[in-house]
Amino acid sequence: MTLLREVMERPLDPGYAVAAARRADGASRTHRGVVLTLVLALVCGAVTARAIAELRRPQPGAAQAQAALQQEIRRRGAAVDADQSRLDQLRAQVTQLQRQAVAGRAGDDLAQRAQLLGLLSAEVPVTGPGLKITMNDAAAAPTGGDTDPRATAGAGEDRVLDRDLQIVVNGLWAAGAEAIAVNGQRLTARTAIRYAGQAILVDFRPLVPPYVISAVGDPSGLQTRFAAGSAGEYLQALRDNYGVRAAIVSSANLELPGAGGFSTRFVHASSAAPATPSPSGASPSAGPATPTPEDSP
């Protein structure tokens, strides 16, 4: 009777009963933990969203300060453009007066020498046949290729970089270019092509794409030698690997502005008579220039 009563009153073994109770208690605790985690996540999300909204909210006076800064930038930019225009006019007058003074004192020989030096230093504008290379950022995502000219370029590989312009310009000098300008900025022996922020600077002047590189020289010879050199291969690799747009067009008459005069700090005239440079067929109005093919840093 004791055994029957035990079976009737306690049908489940005490060990099984304890395990079932523990299992039920664990499930209840897990459910409470999930609910608590969700609540904490919602609270943290709400706090983060609130903080972001507060950070993005315009500060009092920020819009007015930005507008004033933009207006000041436009005003100073207009002033710089006006000063540059005035400077160009004065340079033209100085050049004209120098020619008149030289022609009156020493005749045509000294005038030709002064004109040639102006061409060599890129001080005066020139015209002549040559090539135009237009480079622009990629219109779509870059594509694959067999070679990689910018293995360490990192972000912005589909954009035209300063070293791309440097390599192309140096390739044109090596191919026999006699005068080069980038977006109207004449290159000299002291010209720097650098990258600052999101802009390419040529002689500290920011340029915007597309970048037009104008090179005065024999068009057919320039194009052949440029394509056969390393710069031509580099430009083709930019097209294939990164989708950089580039076009080479021959021109019968290019007009390149002068870089203007610049002062030197370390070079002084020697007392010895300078060697007479051999005249070239170039002139500021009719022929290509013959500057020394210095590369851009």
CB 256 within 8 A of CB 131: no
Q: What is the per-residue pLDDT for 105?
A: 58
Q: What is the per-residue pLDDT for 294?
A: 42
Against a cut of 0.75, is the pTM above it? Answer: no
Q: What is the CATH number of domain 126-256?
A: 3.30.70.1880
Burial of 129 (C-beta count, 10 Å sphere; 0-12/13-18/19+): middle
The domain locations on the chain are 2-55, 126-256
Cβ neighbours of residue 285 closer than 8 Å, sequence gap 6 or more:
127
Alpha helices in 57-174 (DSSP H): 62-106, 108-120, 162-174
At 281, the pLDDT band (50, 70, 90 cuts) reads: very low
- Report the amino acid identity of residue 76: R
Segment 64-75 mean pLDDT = 86
The more confident residue out of 220 and 8 is 220
